[in-house]
Structure 1
Amino acid sequence: MTSGEASVRQRTGPRPLGLHLGLAQATLASSLAALVPVREGHFPWMADLAEDADRLRQDMAGFAVEDLLTEIGQHGHQQIGGMLRGIQKYHAHPYRRTERDVPVLWSEGGSRLLDYGTEDQPDTGPVALIIPSLINRSYILDLFPGRSFVDALAAQGIRPLLMDWGEVTDVERDYGLDEYVLNKLEPAAEAVFEACPSAPVHLVGYCMGGTLAMALATRMQARFASFVALAAPWNFHEGLSQAGRLFLGERQVWERVLGAFGELPVDMLQAFFASLDPSVVLQKFSLFDRMDPDSLRAQEFVALEDWLNDGVPLAAKVAEQCFREWYGSNLPYGGAWRIGGKIVSPEILEIPSMIAVPKSDKIVPPGSALGLAGQIPGARIIYPPSGHIGMVASRHAQDGLWRDVIRWVTQ
């Protein structure tokens, strides 16, 4: 696909489709299986749900078990039917994203630094060097007109420079986390400083990009005006679901996959995210089934779903390090993660720092992101009233996170 052409690829998501269909059926089956233990007070609820569980049990006491089973079964089948219809409507939806022709400030291998600045911006105006996650496309920050974080920054006189990691090419095939920081982020930052010698440069990292940006900040902090982390995981043992732990514990499985493919395939990454919230596809596609397909809300849903299904494989060494060093040994939070032989220590950061912790984040649990805030002296914490993706791309983002970042960078 050339620049400026609309994507016409046939949709096959949500990926991996078979897994999501199986999870939907399992959700229904588990609800039916839990009915009697819940009604009789034998279900092992978490402590913070005890009051809600008591009210639910009291409500259920007025109905026969047979009637409850029938009602739950009918409701579950209705939801699954709605999910299937929603998926079909998603596949057939006419929206397709059009690529923008954005100037490239720097490139290396499959990666490019995209310059979203405007021609009339003064040379001394603030610059935002934005580092997204390695495992998703950078265009979540430029989704479509009206849902573009970078356009919102540019409209306020900020020059957004967005790292587009691109595909894993032969250059990145053997890269680990060290190489991504030392061979990509540091040279890209140098290119920014050279191109903007009189401008304050603010380092902004989103999700996994925030974790990598933290490493860059500790190595080059004297040259940055500030550091901003948007839902960046740091304490990798905090808030991880039991399903997520089980997935990450299948060490032999992912080691064999990495050995066979030389990378971590997108569908395996998607399976991990599905383990964090197994019912999300059932819920959201049932909701999409009830949307007006011509509405802006439906377009937003389709655009986000296209992005979610347009993931990028992770280089084998990076995937192994993430599993072992981050989720396994929790080296960043434990003060033992090294890049280029030096420990990445947030405690040494002296530049102003702001940490965004979305209140309803299912991908990076709030406690994980707060782990970074707790280690940076004097860090400001903000709590966007949305989720991991919604805070940067939803219709509410402009009055939430976008506004907070713009104020931070321009103050």
Structure 2
Amino acid sequence: MSGPPFKRIGPRPLGLHLGLSSSTLSSALAALPLARENKIPWLDGLQEEADALAEDLKSHDLAHLMQVVGERAHFHVSEMLSGIKKYHAHPYQRAMEEPALLHQVGAMRLLDYAPDAPSGSPIVFIVPSLVNRDYILDLMEGRSFVRALAAAGLRPILVSWGAPGDAEQSYNIEDYLLKQLLPAFDVVCEANQGQTIHMLGYCMGGTLAVAAAQLRQSALSSLITLASPWNFHADLGAAAKMFLSQKMLWSAVVEQQGSMPVDILQSFFASLDPNLCLKKFGLFNRMDMDSQKAREFVAIEDWLNDGVPLARRAAMDCFTDWYTDNRPYRGKWTVGGQTINPEKLNIPVMIAVPKSDRIVPAASALGLAEQLSKPTVVTPPSGHIGMVVGRQAARGLWQDVIDWVTG
């Protein structure tokens, strides 16, 4: 199997992922004697299981247990490293037809996936996250959310943010909304007067879409948010809280670099699920490398490692105003002099909250539903990414959106 013509460097940041995996397994080994003596402060509700575990462990020789756990830890690390090596060598390359360019301002482009759609076709104006490439919504053949919408008779128009250029280097979140997102939406409205337009936001793009929908709701038929954070304090894990508490460190990096580097952003996402790399590359190692399942894994992993930096002021807004101060949920977020308040939305709103999201906790996404009078909540049977590209996406989220827009 020949390798790809480009050099893969993921999972990013590789050193952090390797360190987290080794630390997890080393901690398990160190905790074994304490678990055997039932001296670990377990979470509420787990004490009964802990008692049974301690009794079971006491029936085995401690030295033998340590040896078995150590061997198992070595096996998992070796399997992960083998999986990463196979990923680096995999020949898959993304090859999708470029959509029509509808509009461009600075680094931001509007991509039209159905320019020849019949007049009157409902338009879905799609806002992705600022920190990930938009092509997760057009990943590969058979795994393209936007092309599925087009095939269903809709006209998806996708915002492609791109990496911050000269114009965007000084942008904060409000600038992205007022100088790029809302003017781009106005272009679509002016060219399609009288047509039905729905706004859809994915992840952080959904948070932006809430503000945009409030400021342009007279032109909208509905708002759709997909795994979009709103209550940024809800169910935030200990590792993520620790990362956010290091403000002096990451703010110094942002000031020095002029932006939030991709690897720092990836470090934050890794803190949300520290063992993910260990688990997923172990599974990949056992796949048939010629299978469609392996190609899909590589496609998603390539996208994950193809992130973009976040402009300095926008990064500070996200980490300080959103994750630290929780301003959107607390009703303290203002854009263009207006306080963003979901209670002001008079249009129908659908909120998708995937069942197993490790990036945006369900309680965070549902924070938006709490502040709406009659939201429609759907729960796709997948995770944050699987919701839009997984094997169940076509009959799950894709169909939910199609039914919502056409119904």
Q: TM-score range by the shorter chain?
A: over 0.9
Q: Normalising by structure 2, what TM-score?
A: 0.97
Q: Which residue of 2 aligns with 1:277?
A: 273
* Aligned residue identity for 1:371: G
C-alpha distance in 2 between matches for 1:286 and 1:204: 34
Q: Which residue of 2 aligns with 1:368?
A: 364
Q: CA deviation at 1:123?
A: 1.1
Q: Which residue of 1 aligns with 2:206?
A: 210
2:157 counterpart SS class: strand
* Aligned residue identity for 1:162: L
2:301 counterpart SS class: helix
Q: Which residue of 2 aligns with 1:70?
A: 67
C-alpha distance in 1 between matches for 2:356 and 2:65: 30
Q: CA deviation at 1:22?
A: 0.9
**Among 381, 400, 406, the residue aligned to 2:402:** 406
Instruction: Confirm or deny that 1:385 pairs with 2:381.
Output: yes
**Among 243, 247, 252, the residue aligned to 1:251:** 247
**Among 16, 29, 36, the residue aligned to 2:33:** 36
**Among 78, 89, 92, the residue aligned to 2:86:** 89
Deviation string, structure 1 residues 65-103 (Cα, Å, up to 9, x no partner): 222211111111101000000000000000011253211
C-alpha distance in 1 between matches for 2:174 and 2:188: 20
C-alpha distance in 2 between matches for 1:384 and 1:101: 28
C-alpha distance in 1 between matches for 2:200 and 2:55: 49
Q: Which residue of 2 aligns with 1:316?
A: 312
Q: Normalising by structure 1, what TM-score?
A: 0.96
C-alpha distance in 2 between matches for 1:91 and 1:219: 45
Contact 1:349 1:377 in 2 (8 A): no
What pairs up with 1:100-179 in 2 under 5 angstroms? 100-117=97-114, 119=116, 121-179=117-175
C-alpha distance in 1 between matches for 2:108 and 2:244: 28
C-alpha distance in 2 between matches for 1:153 and 1:99: 16
**Among 348, 352, 360, the residue aligned to 1:352:** 348
Q: Is the alpha carbon distance of 1:354 and 1:44 closer, same or farther for their aligned partners in structure 2, counting shifts above 3 Å? A: same
Contact 2:107 2:165 in 1 (8 A): yes
Q: CA deviation at 1:54?
A: 4.2
Instruction: Confirm or deny that 1:19 pairs with 2:5.
Output: no
1:291 counterpart SS class: coil
* Aligned residue identity for 1:159: R
2:201 counterpart SS class: strand
**Which stretch of structure 1 is more off in the superposition, 251-260 or 191-200?**
191-200
Alpha-carbon RMSD across the aligned residues, in angstroms, is: 1.3
* Aligned residue identity for 1:97: R
- Structure 2 stretches of 5 or more lacking a match? none
Provide the identity percentage.
52
- Structure 1 stretches of 5 or more lacking a match? 1-6
1:395 counterpart SS class: coil
C-alpha distance in 2 between matches for 1:99 and 1:264: 29
